[in-house]
Amino acid sequence: MDLLDENPNDKKDYKFASTGINDYLGELNTPKQAQEIDENDGFEELENLQPIDDEPLEKLKANNSVAHATASIVTITLDTTLSTALGLYAGDKAENYKADPDQREELQDAIAEYVKLKGGDIPPGFALFLIILAIYGGKGAEAFQFRKQRKESEAKDLQIKELEAKLEKFKLKNAEFKKSAEDIEPETE
């Protein structure tokens, strides 16, 4: 409790832990102890971790062009397929659901970066399949929708013919009824 009982207004000389700057400078000037640490220890491992930039510029350009070609094929396929599917779902034209040029370019760039990052490209057979899907996938969906509309139209045409035939029968019966009503003379008294 001595600290609490002391009056803060009592001024005492502050005592430093050292005797002054001379002791500090003396400690700095003392020779360092031997540590047996080799500065090059583990340096070889670090050299192996460094990225190798020895790839020729032509190979990098080839990888870039392959990535962009792959991205182009995938973008066209996605845009065509998804817009067709959305158009079929909505019962609307596929063109209304296609990405605009800026969106397609963004998507293509993102896919190209992904392909470059993963270091792969699509095999030629799969690329051919994607192109066929992009070209004929939408046309197949349109043909399916056209066929469905044609069947509905044929069913409605058949229903119209049946109703016209019933109307014709009704007109004939009505005409026969009027004729038989005229033939019967009312009884007069």
Map out the domains of the chain as residue ranges: 58-183
pLDDT in tens, 95-134: 888 889 999 999 999 988 888 887 777 788 888 888 888 8
What is the three-class DSSP state of 36?
coil
Amino acid at 23: D
Task: Tell me the C-alpha distance between 163 and 30, whole Å.
Answer: 116
Query: What does the DSSP 8-state code read for residue 95?
Result: G
pLDDT greater at residue 98 or residue 185: 98
What is the reported pLDDT for 56? Answer: 64
Return the C-alpha torsion angle 108, 111, 113, 116, nearest 10: -120
pTM over 0.85: no
Q: Contact 98/83 with Cβ under 8 angstroms? A: yes
Q: How many CB atoms lie within 10 A of CB 115?
A: 21
Mean pLDDT, rounded, for 130-154: 84
User: Can you count the helices (H) and strands (E) in the chain?
Assistant: 6, 0
Residue that is written with structure tokens 């609490």 in the block:
4
* Cα separation, 135 vs 80, whole angstroms: 8
Q: What are 141's two structure tokens?
A: 């969906």
- Mean pLDDT over 157-181 rounds to 89
* Whether pLDDT at 84 is above 80: yes
